[in-house]
Each structure stands twice: as C-alpha cells, then as structure tokens.
Amino acid sequence: MGLKKLGRPLRSVFTKLLLVMGSMGLLLYMGIGGVYWHVIGESRLQVYQENAVKYTDYLIRELGSPPSHKRAQDITQETGLGIRFIENGPGWTTSELVPLPESLHSWRWRENNGVQFARRYNKMIVVRDTPEGKFLFSAFPDETMMMGWLVTLMVVVGLVLFGAFVTIRWILRPLRDLARGVRAISAGDLTYRVPEYRTDELGRLTRAFNHMSGRIQMMLAARERLLLDVSHELRSPLTRIKVALEFLPPDDTRSLLRNDVEEMERMITEILENARLHSRFGRLNKTHFDLRELLEEMLPEYDGRAPGVRLAHFPDQVPLFADPEQVSTVMRNLITNALKYTPADSAPVEISVESQPLQTVIHVRDFGQGIAKDELELIFEPFYRTDRSRNKNTGGYGLGLSLCKAIMEAHEGSIAVNSVVNAGTIFTLNFPQHPEDKLEKNLPAPAA
Ligand code: ADP
C-alpha cells in the first residue's frame, strides 16, 4: 500500500474525530485518576498504614520471642502475608517474594508512627525494626487476577472504541452521500439527488444541496429552452429572407447578404443539432461504413484551401459502425477549424488512423497557431471561442466543437485535444470498435 493510500484515512474527518474522542477519554481518565490518587488515594493510604502498624504490632507479638518461623509459615498460609525476619545472621522468610532490605533502595519510602513503608507500583512492604531484629511484611497482589482485569479492561476499551467508530461513521454518512452528489453533479448529472434521511444539521445540508441542484437544473433547462425556441423561430424568417434575396438584382450586396444568411442558418442548424443530440430522444442512424471512402468523398471540398489536407498513415479501409452523417459533421468541423487556424504557408493538415485494441482512433493534426493550455478544456463548451479567435474575424460562434463532443458522446466515444501554441493542434477521436470492424493489423505508426 502506498503512503498516499495510507495518508487518506489519516486525513479523514472521521479519523480526526476518533482521535479527538480517544485523546479526550485518555485525558479525562488521567485527570480523574490523578485526582483520585492524590486526594482519595492518599487519605486511604494513611488509614491503611495506621492499621498496618497495629496489625504488624500484633503479628510480632504473636510470633513470640525468638520469633517462630513455623508460626510465621502458618500465618502466611492462612492470610497470604509474606514475612521475612532478619537478625544479625541471615534470618528466615516464609516466601521468596518478600524482597531483601538491600533491594528496597529504589522504592519509595514513607514513615508513619515510626514505622517504615516501602512502596513500588502496587506493592507495599512494612518494615519493622525491633530489638529482636528486622521484620519485613509483604502482601502479594494476585497477579493472575490483575491480568484478568487488564484483559477485561482492554476488551472494554476496544468495544468502546469500536462503538465510537460505528457511531461516528453513522453520523457522518450524509457527508459521504453529499460527496457522491457533488461528484455526480460536477460530472454533469444534474438529475442526481442525495438521499434525505436525517433531520439534523447534515440532513438540512442535504436538503439544501438537493434544492440547489434542482434550481440549477431548472435554470439551465429554461435557458436551453429559450435558445432552442429562438433558434426555431428564426428559421422561418430566414427562409423568407432567402427567398426574397432571390428577387434582388445579382450584385455584391446580394451575395454578401446571402453569405450572412447562410452563416446564420448554419449556426441555427448547429444549435438545434446540438440540442437534438443532447436530448434523450436524439437517435443515431448507425451503419457500417468505410471512413476512408467517406473522407475521400469529402476532401475535394477543401481543394484550393491552403495549406491543404492530406491523409497520412491511413489504411486502405477503416471500417466504422457509426452514424455517417454525424461523423461527416465532426470531420468537417475539425478540418475547417484546422484550416481556419493555420497560416496558408505551413505544412498541410494531416488525418491519420491509429490501431488500438477495441477502438478506432482518428487524429486530425494541424501546424497552426495552437491553443493556450488554460483554454484547452473550454473549447468544447458551447459558444466558447479563444481570445485569439475573438479578435480575429475567423467566423464561427464557438458551437462546432461542442457539437463534435455531443456527437462523439452519443457514439459512446470521446474527443480530446492536444496543442502547443504556435506549433499546432491534434484533435483525437475515439470510436469504440464494433466486433465486425477489425482494423487491419500492422498499421503504420501514427504521426505523433
Ligand atoms: P469556432 O466556430 O469559433 O471555430 P469551435 O467550437 O469550432 O468554434 O472552436 C472553439 C474555439 O477553439 C475556436 O474559436 C478556436 O479559438 C479554437 N480552435 C478550434 N480548433 C482549433 C485549431 N485547430 N487551432 C487553433 N484553435 C482552434
């Protein structure tokens, strides 16, 4: 797993909340533990130690003089209290678990009523100096019971953390749904609605989000409707103007007017065609045809248009399963653009085909002015024209490429662009391959 993948769960709000809860739990535990230790623990220790003094007094008396090892062993047996006795010699002990006095240096010492207490962790040794010798008393904590508690504690902490995990996940679920909604809407699916199932703040956010996307959808639909209606309505007056033009005497003004009218007609056709392809009812008339044949019929239209168009790296047959009319529209748009934005003295526009598994890839390449990097994404938007072409009188309304994109998407294919300013532009069309349309193998390498 890469570091990036590992970093993502660490950066999530979810993990942060869990960490905050964990640290808060730990701090509270330490705070409460500290108060308990210092206030309650200390006063209880005082009581315990006073009792311990009295009890060990009693035990020392009970052991007699000299202290009876046998009696001490009985007491250890009965009460679990270890007793070590040291006279001048080595002395005796009822359990090896009672440490030797030499090993108690590093323990915490405390005196109560003239009696020494040595403490470390959960162990406490009572040290009594008597005229007979030194007594050490030690109660052994039950280690196995402590381990049992420790395991129980860990299981409880684990369960609490798991509960917190599940709860936070549940609370944050609308955020994940919202993220999915934002992705869907930015990908263009304005009909996407985020499921609403909460009444809390996140639920309100979800409802506001759905309301917003609904409004945007309505606004866009209204705008599109207006554009379509106006375009539609413009058709009849344009036809009437065209007819009227025929009755004018044939001079320059008439041909200028006719050119303008034809351009307006083209634009309206593009708008309506675009809308038709975007609508769910737009139909493609797909057939099997040869792209080379189609292009060879089309290219003579560009004869005499400098710098010219040529087929480069183009096999004898390029079978496609698509709508030939629409493919012609795409090719015409790309070729016209390439010629429009290329100076007459540069190398000719090249059309080539690349063999790829499962798809047919077509490149249209020019050596013209190119497109700036930050505009590459925008040129497929309707009515977008780069600054350079806005300043120049190159004709067009920025609809051609948006139509090409709509056509390619209707074919479940794609269109992409690659460009270097002042060096040239390559448009790449990607058609999914129909099982019958196998391109011949060993095609020449594409013009890169
Ligand atoms: P237009 O009708 O303005 O050509 P398009 O949608 O066909 O509209 O293209 C959008 C913009 O993309 C154009 O205005 C132009 O700036 C830019 N463009 C398209 N093709 C090329 C190209 N081959 N070389 C340079 N710029 C291009």
Query: pLDDT tens digit string along 196-230?
Result: 998 889 999 999 999 999 999 999 888 888 888 88
**C-alpha to C-alpha distances, 360 to 319, 377, 411, 415, nearest whole angstrom:** 9, 23, 12, 12
CA-to-CA distance for 247 and 242, rounded, in angstroms?
9
pLDDT at 103: 87
Average pLDDT rounded to a whole number, residues 46-66: 89
CB neighbour class for 378 (10 Å; exposed up to 12, middle 13-18, buried from 19): middle
pLDDT at 278: 67
What are 289-330's pLDDT values in tens digits? 999 999 999 999 899 888 999 999 889 999 999 999 889 999
- Does 365 sit in the ligand 1 pocket, CB within 6 Å? no
CB neighbour class for 414 (10 Å; exposed up to 12, middle 13-18, buried from 19): middle
Rounded distance from Cα 361 to ligand 1 centre (Å):
21
pLDDT at residue 447 greater than cutoff 60? no
- Does 398 sit in the ligand 1 pocket, CB within 6 Å? yes
**Ligand 1 pocket mutation, candidates 302, 375, 379, 408, criterion most atoms within 8 A of CB:** 379
Nearest to 189 by CA among 180, 197, 198: 180
Question: Residue with the nearest Cα to atom 14 of ligand 1?
Answer: 385
Would you give the DSSP letter of residue 361?
E
13 CB contacts (<8 Å, ≥6 apart)? 172, 175
Q: Which tokens hold the place of 434?
A: 């129909």
Rounded distance from Cα 133 to ligand 1 centre (Å):
107
- Does 82 sit in the ligand 1 pocket, CB within 6 Å? no
- pTM value surpassing 0.75: no
Atom nearest to 382 CA in ligand 1: 6
Nearest to 427 by CA among 332, 300, 359, 343: 332
pLDDT at residue 388 greater than cutoff 70? no
CB atoms within 10 A of CB 298: 14
Average pLDDT rounded to a whole number, residues 392-419: 84
**C-alpha to C-alpha distances, 26 to 4, 23, 30, nearest whole angstrom:** 29, 5, 6
Average pLDDT rounded to a whole number, residues 42-52: 84
pLDDT at 442: 41
pLDDT at 7: 64
pLDDT at 1: 46
CA-to-CA distance for 113 and 55, rounded, in angstroms?
13
